[in-house]
Homo-oligomer: A and B are copies of this chain.
Amino acid sequence: MDEQSAAGLGTGPSADGPDAAYRAGALDLLGLLAYGALTAFDRLAEDSRMAPGLADKVQLAVMAGQQVEHFGRLRSRLADSGIDVMAAMRPFHEPFNGFHDHTRPKDWLEGLVKAYVGDGIAADFYREVAAFVDADTRALVHEVLADSGHVDFVVGRVRQAIESDPKVGGRLALWGRRLVGEALSQAQRVAADRDALTSLLTGTVDRPGLDLAAVSRMFSRLVENHTRRMAALGLQS
């Protein structure tokens, strides 16, 4: 990551200068992640009801519980900055709800692919943005996005299903592509609405952001990781 190092948000002396813009962007990122965790909890809990057995249900329940734990940490961090999590999440209701409304898993396997592929590309993108905020915020972002050992579970289950019925692979590959399309469409919406968040990436008058080449490199990284995840599932991206 050569574009830019930590911005030292909230620690600078001038509250109205560039620091204020950084700060607003960082708070947006935390609000977005908090609402993302809450909707992920909701979805994982709902998907856990489609589990073919109790052991699978337990896995998803544990994943859902982790999302609540992440939510709690983001809420505490926002509270430390005097920000109410409910207010911080508000701008992100529509894009997240829109994404989930358009990508309701029809079955257990679609839910698993969504939890791995959809959340994976989103997490990669959040980590890219987090490269531009202060070190503490960045550390928190990385912690709440860290994979908690559930990848093996998802990959194992999906590969198993494709092995016993190869047709499943074609359907899930389509599903994976649709997830990415919907995610990008909602990301554009957020980018258009939230200047502070966007300007973390694009820069402001006072601070140069990513140039076109850097943006293109970022997209390459996102696509590369996505392709890697699809391949891990045995799916064509």
Q: Are A68 and B64 neighbours in the complex by a CB distance under 8 Å? A: yes
Chain A 41-57 interface residues, beta-carbon cutoff 8 Å to B: 41-42, 45-46, 48-49, 54-55, 57
Q: List 30 A-B contacts (CB under 8 A).
A: A38-B61, A41-B45, A41-B61, A41-B64, A41-B65, A42-B45, A42-B48, A42-B49, A42-B61, A45-B45, A45-B48, A45-B64, A54-B93, A55-B86, A58-B71, A58-B85, A58-B86, A61-B71, A62-B68, A62-B71, A64-B64, A64-B65, A64-B68, A65-B65, A65-B67, A65-B69, A65-B71, A65-B72, A68-B68, A69-B69
Instruction: Write out the residue numbers on chain B whose beta carbons fall within 8 Å of the beta carbon of A85.
Output: 58
Copies of chain A in the complex: 2
Q: How large is the interface on A (under 10, 10 to 19, 20 to 34, 35 or more residues)?
A: 20 to 34
Residues of chain A having any CB pair with chain B under 8 Å = 38, 41-42, 45-46, 48-49, 54-55, 57-58, 61-62, 64-69, 71-72, 85-86, 89, 93
Instruction: Write out the residue numbers on chain B whose beta carbons fall within 8 Å of the beta carbon of A66.
Output: 68
Partner of A54 from B57, B61, B68, B86 at Cβ < 8 Å? B86
- Cα distance A72–B68 when bound, in Å? 14
Apart from A38-B57, A41-B65, A64-B68, what 17 extra A-B contacts exist at CB < 8 Å? A38-B58, A38-B61, A41-B45, A41-B61, A42-B61, A45-B46, A45-B64, A54-B89, A54-B93, A58-B86, A61-B68, A61-B71, A62-B72, A64-B64, A65-B67, A65-B68, A65-B69
